[in-house]
Structure 1
Amino acid sequence: MLKKIILFSFAFTIIGLQKVVAQKLSHPNPTAETRALYQNLQMLSTKAILFGHQDDLAYGVGWKYQEGRSDVKETAGEYPAVYGWDIGKIEHAAPNNIDGVPFDKMRDYIKAGYERGAVITISWHFDNPLTGGSSWDTTRNTVRAILPMGEKHQLYLQWLDRAANFLLSLKGAKGEYIPVLFRPFHELTGHWFWWGSRSTSPEEMKEIWRFTADYLRKTKKIDHLIMVYNTNDFKTSADFLRSYPGDEYVDVLSFDTYQFDLKNKDRFISEIKRQSEIVTRLAAEKNKLAAFAETGFENIPDPNWWTGTLWPAIKDYPLSYVLVWRNAGYMPSSKKMHYYAPHKGGRSAKDFKRFSQNPRVWLEKKLRTKKIYQNQTN
């Protein structure tokens, strides 16, 4: 028992140190709103875990593009605290993203979430610039081809310019840039994307991350990005960090892990605890934020998943937010339902309501009171 008390005390000492010193972004000159957001997320991470949902405002189970709707809101009575979006297909100057969301609508949804005081995070499922295939085309070493002097470097610059134009179009009511937790090359320790572990080397991955960050910051003059390093499929701290580009290029350490069947509940919980321990410890050592950037259980077959699985897995760790994937509803291509957040009438709706009432789980109403885009510490 004494050992447990000592360990518990040590853990919160580390968290306390993180709260005091982890205030500086990797960007040398961020906007005031971006700096305030990062500092406030640091302080809140010792008190609460923000709940997020991908594409929450755009569509849900049985509906699409209906103003004011949200599956999370219709089950919990309020919007999520974190909104996830993806800019896949922006590289082709397409009107809609990889999941069919018009970029014009996405811009409006991002502004609406920001004006309500929520957090915005953006990933990028971009196509393979070397082969012309999708993000999942791992047939060749594409990262090497888009590095400086690579055969597709100029094309990559064009794609970055298009992404930058969208990011620079995200502005609030006063013309200020909306801060974005930007999560490029996500799940980079996995093997399923062209930037993943089987298709490139750790050194190449580090180089392209640094180049991308420098290009967006220095060449495109984007000062409102909080850079999120994101992994999947790691066993040790060394695994997690094997493609890490350096503290001067990262602000948030994060990971993605999903549950895939009812039988592995205990294994899933223990895995999330193990990964959370690694990531939050590294974040404290590096004075960064930690986050559970993607998770979920497709169609949520466990009616008590929120309080019986997710919360036990994350409750002991200072994770700034947890985000579940999108509610696409019925997908004709696969002829099945596809959703990760609760929805009205869904089997887990009542349990999610209980989960959302946990004083340490924050949705948008509690977060709004903190005015996270202003310099304050309360």
Structure 2
Amino acid sequence: MKLTRSYSIVVTAIMAMLLHTAKAQQNTLLPCDKDATTQTKALYQNLRTLATKGYLFGHQDDLAYGVNWRYEKDRSDVKEVCGDYPAVYGWDLGGLERDGNDKNIDGVPFKKMKEFIKEGYQRGGVITLSWHFDNPLTGKGAWDTAHGTVASILPGGANHALFKTWLDKAANFILSLKGDNKELIPVLFRPFHELTGTWFWWGTNNCVADQFKVLWRFTVYYLKEVKKCHNLLYVYNTGGDFKTKEEFLERYPGDDMVDIISFDSYQWGDPSKDDGFPQNVNNLLNILDSAAVETNKLTAIAETGFEAIPYAAWWTAVLQKAIGKHNLSYILLWRNHGYNEWMKKMHYYVPYKGQVSEKDFVKFYNDDRTLFEKEAAKENLYQQH
């Protein structure tokens, strides 16, 4: 009888331990790169935990320039309006593939970009990189949609070797991003962004789904296994044009090659007359949530905004309404270029001092669910908890 009772106690203890282990494993989200650095793994896990509290706010090129200023130390249009930096800093590698080129397509010197990336990281912010790379078939820009481009850079293609040299340059840049302790800075890497659109050479009009999947899988394989870039979290990013989960995932390359799923969506109409943007984004987020359950990935709105923000209450009455109660890792607003000579108009997506939506942006900042850099820093996103 004593033996049976002891046996029962041991079995109960073992079952409890196994249940605890199973729950711990279920709550642990690992990057698709099994060799990811400690800081990268911690960031990924902490982003999931943080999404239940709110979403990180990001801004493209925030530290490099703003409306009516360029390269002034510690400046940020976001900070000047709300007193805090964004929690996510977006940068772009476009132009890095060109031999001897020292600036990206927006004129930001790559040397300064590295400094800005380290600065944001050291304060506790998160870094994301996109890449508007040139068309490898024609040598023209990312918007050149010459047919056959993707096929030409797949293994066995005429430009495959060239494409690998471009990935080499990207890897060298990524591996040069280090903190004060020489640790690699984790990066949310968003290649082939807006992949369901027709305006880039990697879009739906230039390759079938299987070709795109091979392109993505080769890119991740090369950066991860050949170049040993173990500080990357990979962001699958579509346009905001999908209607179903199946359509969103049509070009999805596999759970083993993606960490975050996302889409881009911008306000175009007049929000005082048209409620289409918040309704559409909310529908897209419903689909994204469903896809996240299926793939077990984090979610984000990787680009959004309303050019020149002419609607004073856009932040709280439109953007927050669009996001609703959805749990996102982050949202990123596009850049504050200022007056664009080519487009002959103002081109910016967050307010600056005196801009019409400034006061509403402060209300947006003070909302419990919007997380800027001070709050991100408190979370110690690069430490295991």
Tell me the TM-score normalized by structure 2. Answer: 0.92
CA offsets per residue over residues 284-318 of structure 1, 9 Å max, x none? Answer: 33221000100001001111100010001102101
2:80 paired with 1:74:
yes
1:266 aligned residue (261, 272, 275): 275
1:283 and 1:22 map into 2 onto residues whose CA distance is: 15
2:163 paired with 1:163:
no
Shift of 1:180: 0.1
CA offsets per residue over residues 37-62 of structure 1, 9 Å max, x none? Answer: 00000100111111100000000000
1:28 and 1:172 map into 2 onto residues whose CA distance is: 22
Residue number in structure 1 paired with 2:124? 117
The worse-fitting range, judged by mean Cα deviation, of 55-64 and 312-321 is 312-321
Shift of 1:141: 2.0
2:186 paired with 1:193:
no
Q: Would you say the 8 A contact 1:114–1:120 is kept in 2?
A: yes
Residue number in structure 2 paired with 1:10? none
Q: Would you say the 8 A contact 2:238–2:264 is kept in 1?
A: yes
Residue number in structure 2 paired with 1:208? 215
Shift of 1:18: 12
Any idea what SS the aligned residue of 1:53 has? strand
Shift of 1:274: 0.6
Partner amino acid, structure 2, of 1:152 = N
Q: Would you say the 8 A contact 2:282–2:324 is kept in 1?
A: no
2:264 paired with 1:244:
no
Unaligned runs of 5+ in 1: 1-16
Any idea what SS the aligned residue of 2:266 has? coil
Residue number in structure 1 paired with 2:146? 139
Any idea what SS the aligned residue of 2:168 has? helix
Any idea what SS the aligned residue of 1:57 has? coil
2:308 aligned residue (299, 302, 309): 299
Shift of 1:21: 3.3
1:217 aligned residue (221, 224, 237): 224
2:122 and 2:76 map into 1 onto residues whose CA distance is: 16
1:181 and 1:23 map into 2 onto residues whose CA distance is: 15
Shift of 1:22: 5.4
CA offsets per residue over residues 206-264 of structure 1, 9 Å max, x none? Answer: 00000000000010011000000000121111111111000000000000000112156
Residue number in structure 2 paired with 1:8? none
Alpha-carbon spacing, 1:308–1:56, altered in 2? closer, same or farther (3 Å): same
Q: Give 1:55-134 correspondences, 5 Å limit.
A: 55-93=61-99, 94-134=101-141
1:257 and 1:226 map into 2 onto residues whose CA distance is: 21
Partner amino acid, structure 1, of 2:280 = E
Any idea what SS the aligned residue of 1:229 has? strand
Residue number in structure 1 paired with 2:56? 50
Shift of 1:19: 11
Partner amino acid, structure 1, of 2:33 = H
2:304 and 2:97 map into 1 onto residues whose CA distance is: 26
Determine what percentage of the aligned residue pairs are the same residue.
54
Alpha-carbon spacing, 1:22–1:245, altered in 2? closer, same or farther (3 Å): farther
Shift of 1:116: 0.5
2:28 and 2:278 map into 1 onto residues whose CA distance is: 28
Partner amino acid, structure 2, of 1:303 = A
1:98 and 1:351 map into 2 onto residues whose CA distance is: 31
Unaligned runs of 5+ in 2: 1-22
Partner amino acid, structure 1, of 2:247 = D
Alpha-carbon spacing, 1:85–1:67, altered in 2? closer, same or farther (3 Å): same
Alpha-carbon spacing, 1:305–1:22, altered in 2? closer, same or farther (3 Å): farther
Q: Would you say the 8 A contact 2:249–2:291 is kept in 1?
A: no
1:29 aligned residue (30, 35, 38): 35
1:265 and 1:362 map into 2 onto residues whose CA distance is: 28
CA offsets per residue over residues 306-340 of structure 1, 9 Å max, x none? Answer: 00100011021011111110000011122211000
Alpha-carbon spacing, 1:182–1:127, altered in 2? closer, same or farther (3 Å): same
Residue number in structure 2 paired with 1:340? 349
Q: Would you say the 8 A contact 1:259–1:265 is kept in 2?
A: no
Residue number in structure 1 paired with 2:285? 276
Aligned pair count?
360
The structure number with the bigger radius of gyration is 2
Any idea what SS the aligned residue of 1:90 has? coil
2:28 and 2:92 map into 1 onto residues whose CA distance is: 28
Residue number in structure 2 paired with 1:309? 318
Any idea what SS the aligned residue of 1:91 has? coil
Tell me the TM-score normalized by structure 1. Answer: 0.93
2:376 paired with 1:367:
yes
1:356 and 1:265 map into 2 onto residues whose CA distance is: 25
Residue number in structure 1 paired with 2:161? 154
Residue number in structure 1 paired with 2:17? none
1:151 and 1:337 map into 2 onto residues whose CA distance is: 41
Q: Would you say the 8 A contact 1:139–1:199 is kept in 2?
A: yes
Alpha-carbon spacing, 1:364–1:19, altered in 2? closer, same or farther (3 Å): farther
Partner amino acid, structure 2, of 1:131 = T
